[in-house]
Amino acid sequence: MLKRLHDALRLRTNPAIFFGAAAVVIFFVVTAVFFTDAADAFFAGGAGWVMHNLGWFYILGVSVFLIFLGYVALSRFGGLRLGSDDERPEHSNVAWFAMLFAAGIGTILMFWAVAEPVSHFAEPPFEGVEPESREAATNAMSITLYHFGLHTWTIFTLPALAFGYFMYKRNLPPRVSSMFQPLLGAKIHGAPGKIIDILALVGTLTGVAVSIGLGTLQINAGLARLFGISESAISQIGIIAAVTIVASISAALGVNRGIKVLSNTNILIAVGLLVFILISGPTVMLLKGMVEWAGAYLSSLPGLMFWNDTLADTGWQDGWTVFYWAWTITWSPFVGIFIARISRGRSIRQFVIGVLAFPTLFSVVWFGIFGTAVFDVELNGEGGLVETVVGQGDIPGAMFELLGHFPWAAVMSAVGILIVTLFFITSMDSAGLVMDSMASGYDDAAPRHQRVFWVVAIGVVAAVLLTATGQTGLTALENVAILIGLPFFVLGYFMMWSLLRAMREDAGEVGVIRSRQWRRTLPPEEYERRADTGALTDEVVAPDHIQGSEPENAAPLEHPDQPEMVKAYRQRNGGV
């Protein structure tokens, strides 16, 4: 039945994974719309239980992931390449950084650049610190950079490294299940693999929708200040609809003609806004603050990465750190595959250092300048940011409130809206492309309407989370993110084991590392389709063939006769 529906819709994907994930998303949307109170109670209760009982697990997990990545990068495995041994990167360093940054945390940098430093400045998380003091400012920046520095990019880097290794070193399908091949073997193509991939797709879609929801709130807040547009459900649905249309067009155009162009453009405009704040504000103070906060972050990092607020038990971390880690890891599969795709050919050492260090450095500069500007307004200027963000709870409008204290406030607010919108679009279109490849299991060009489906699904779920729940939009987004993120953290530990096992299997023990060569593995349905159309090549292998099982010639490049191989594959799987 699913196969007939799949063919009738002219799709080219895995029917079980595609329709399974679609069914869960539709069920979620219908439940949220027609059983609002029950859905609210479920997510609020589940999130409350997770935060109270397992918040420590989230905090421990990210720090363990960071230590593991450091070990891998500095070990002998660091010389392995994500691809063949002689492969080199496709994209320049500048283009690479722009794409991974725009698809990564561009939207949340805009959302929290002002809101988080103001919040911690007014309400310090540590006992004995006077609110709105110089000590509160230092602590606020340490916490902010902890949230958006190495730890956030660790959550992206671990799955990205695993995807890159299994996709381009072992030539497995671009699916979450492929990362567990050392554990599951050929079962990654069976029921266990399909279950993992369906859950990964649903969790990723929900996590991206949370980010889109935050971006929508910020765009709505900016439009309200500039043009008096109401901050209402109708306005937010209109914003999501408009951006979804543009993101769908970009996804249909692909990476090079769509996402890459938008990413490069957006990073340039964002840097332009940063330079404007630096030049038009107290330049020397902003530069001094940027350097000082970097030092405060580095000096406090060893304590913060394992801090659980054990004795005071104020619950502060539940609404901040735990929410961040849970939310970020839900959309890490999408960002992970995307980063892996644009990082092919780089060594593991280059990859880990690049993905961790450069975005973290940019975050230090970004938050250092905006955060210092916040303190200047509050301590030396007219103030008002604390009242707006903390007193009135207007977190989405924090950025525009700050820009109101600088020259050309209206123009700069318009630029800020443009930046958030472009980050919004690049997150949606790249997520659509990646989720489509996760469902289909290969990187080849897929039908455009198939890719567009995922973009539209993200927009619909974001609209539902914001407007069809009984709680405030931001609270609903936080609850969903915290609950959905839990299984992803559990999988993270298996991911580390699987990646280390694969590298140990493939790497030499001494001297220059020479790794085994792996033929490309296609998903079963795509292998069958190519067999029927005569499109199989010597570069692919049957899905149930366990590469690497023989110690000496684990994956011989000499390929058996294709017709005989197809016949044997079908006999093993009950075919003709």
pLDDT tens digits, 130-148: 999 999 999 999 999 999 9
AA letter at 87: E
Same-domain check for residues 367 and 414 = yes
Task: Check residue 104 and give its pLDDT.
Answer: 54
Regarding whether 538 and 469 lie in a shared domain, the answer is no
Q: Which domain holds residue 560?
A: 520-576
What average pLDDT does the segment 228-257 reach? 80
In the predicted model, is pLDDT for residue 472 greater than 90? Answer: no
Number of domains the chain is built from: 2
Q: At what angle do helices 321-330 and 150-168 cross, to 10 degrees?
A: 20
The predicted model gives 218-245 an average pLDDT of 87
What the block records as the tokens of 170 is 């072992």
Q: Tell which of 515, 538, 554 closes a domain.
A: 515
Say whether both 499 and 524 belong to one domain: no
Structure tokens at 75: 């070990």
198, 24 Cβ separation under 8 angstroms? yes
Residue 103: is its pLDDT beyond 60?
Answer: no
For the cut 60, the answer to whether the pLDDT of residue 288 exceeds it is yes
In this structure, are 458 and 438 located in the same domain?
yes
Q: Range with the lowest mean pLDDT among 15-19, 336-340, 345-349, 490-494?
A: 336-340
Domain end call among 515, 536, 553 = 515
Instruction: Note the pLDDT tens digit of each residue in 327-360.
Output: 888 878 888 888 888 889 999 999 999 899 888 9
User: 319 and 468: one domain?
Assistant: yes
Q: What is the pLDDT of residue 496?
A: 95
Last residue of a domain, one of 499, 515, 531: 515
Task: State whether residue 81 is helix, strand or coil.
Answer: strand
pLDDT at 546 over 60: no
Residues 78, 172 within the same domain = yes
> From CA 173, how far away is CA 439, in angstroms rounded?
10
- Same domain as 164, residue 31: yes
Q: Are residues 562 and 453 in the same domain?
A: no
Distance (Å, rounded) from C-alpha 292 to C-alpha 476?
36
Q: Is the pLDDT of residue 299 over 90?
A: yes
490, 556: one domain: no
Of the given ranges (52-61, 98-107, 188-197, 473-482), which has the lowest mean pLDDT? 98-107
pLDDT band at 447 (very low <50, low <70, confident <90, very high): confident
Do both 284 and 156 map to the same domain? yes
Q: What pTM was estimated for this model as a whole?
A: 0.83
| Confidence at residue 63, expressed as pLDDT on a 0 to 100 scale | 96
